Amino acid sequence: MTENLLEPEYQDLVDTVREFADEVVAPASYQHDKDHTFPYEIVSQMGELGLFGLPFPEEFGGMGGDYFALALSLEQLGRVDQSVAITLEAGVSLGAMPVYRFGTQEQKEAWLPQLTSAKALAGFGLTEPDAGSDAGGTRTTAREEGGNFVINGSKEFITNSGTDITRLVTVTAVTGELPPKQEGGAPRKEISTILVPADTAGFTAEPAYDKVGWHASDTHPLSFKNAVVPQENLLGQRGRGYANFLSILDEGRIAIAGLSTGAAQGCVDESVKYAKERKSFGRPIAEYQAVSFKIARMQARAHQARLAYHHAARLMLAGKPFKTEAAMAKMIASDAAMDNARDATQVFGGYGFMNESLVARHYRDSKILEIGEGTTEVQLMLISRSLGL
């Protein structure tokens, strides 16, 4: 389990978040999922615990921790409620982290204290109908006009973008052209990232999606119609928007791997408990080898996923290259979550098909883990490239 070989400060955090997950998050999980309601009260309590500020310095309201601490916390939350876990993950790695990594001192002071306390949330507007992994497909534009950027375009699948406490969205947009990479080639799009406050005129979070899972997580398409923000809202170096976001994704994959490991472990825990209680032909189904072996394989997957994300996080903390290991961790852990959700549903039988069952919610929720923040195919591409293929 996660308790193995953790330093005392990490173990204390795991114990605290596990208790919070079991006593506060889990009892409210089904109702929020059923009603498709955002868990404001839980987000507020996570802010009070300091979870949204884990990897940020104290000067910006953070806890002075690191990404490993965040991933460990996400594992504990992901066991019982993926919607809550992804709200934290996106709020930190996609919302606040770009401001911290690439923002000016003024931008950090203006935004980070709100984001690290969960008094505000931020989203990252990257994906479009023809753009995501393919930066060249970006069609949202930001033209310069009188010291401002005028933004037009749309984004889709943006987490934390339409809540009552959403205050900011970082948007990738075409701000000009770059020379072709080779003579005679076509000019390339200059893509930059721009901070767009949620109350900006012309910026609209469109009606929320009707999703298969993550029902308590906030996800919207966004539209920009002559949305005007000052040029001082440029985040980081002009033309480096997409490159900067790729580095954010490398870190975020460790966090997603932690969340996915939690989902995989949650399926194990629920299956063990149910297999001991459910009787068939006069015996607990745990005594049947077909059931016990299935759960054993589930535990092996969760263990492998945990080792993978721990390793990637340790490399990151040591300042060593970790891109490939983060990709492997994300792929291994998301596969484990999906496979374990399927097997847990089989262990539960008909009860596993009822939404009040946690394993049913994991079954619906886990598929997106193989898609969001880089699909399994993208991870395979990164891993194969690292091998020189």
Annotated active-site positions, please?
A: 373
User: Is-contact 140 126, C-beta < 8 A?
Assistant: no
Neighbours of 186 (CB within 10 A): 9
Q: Which two tokens stand for residue 125?
A: 């507007």
Q: How far is CA 98 from CA 35, 123, 248, 249, in A?
A: 32, 10, 7, 10
Those residues with Cβ within 8 angstroms of residue 127's Cβ, 6 or more apart along the chain or in another chain: 155, 156, 157, 158
| Alpha helices, H only, 318-357 | 323-348
Q: Which two tokens stand for residue 14?
A: 């795991």
At 22, give phi and psi (nearest 5°): -70, -40
Q: Are strands 121-125 and 166-178 parallel, antiparallel or unpaired?
A: parallel
Supply the DSSP symbol for 128. B
Supply the DSSP symbol for 137. G
At 292, give phi and psi (nearest 5°): -65, -35
Supply the DSSP symbol for 58. G
Q: Report the distance separating Cα 347 and Cα 325, nearest Å.
A: 32
Dihedral of the CA atoms 156, 158, 163, 168 (nearest 10)?
A: -110
| Alpha helices, H only, 178-240 | none
Terminal CA-to-CA distance of the chain, rounded, Å? 35
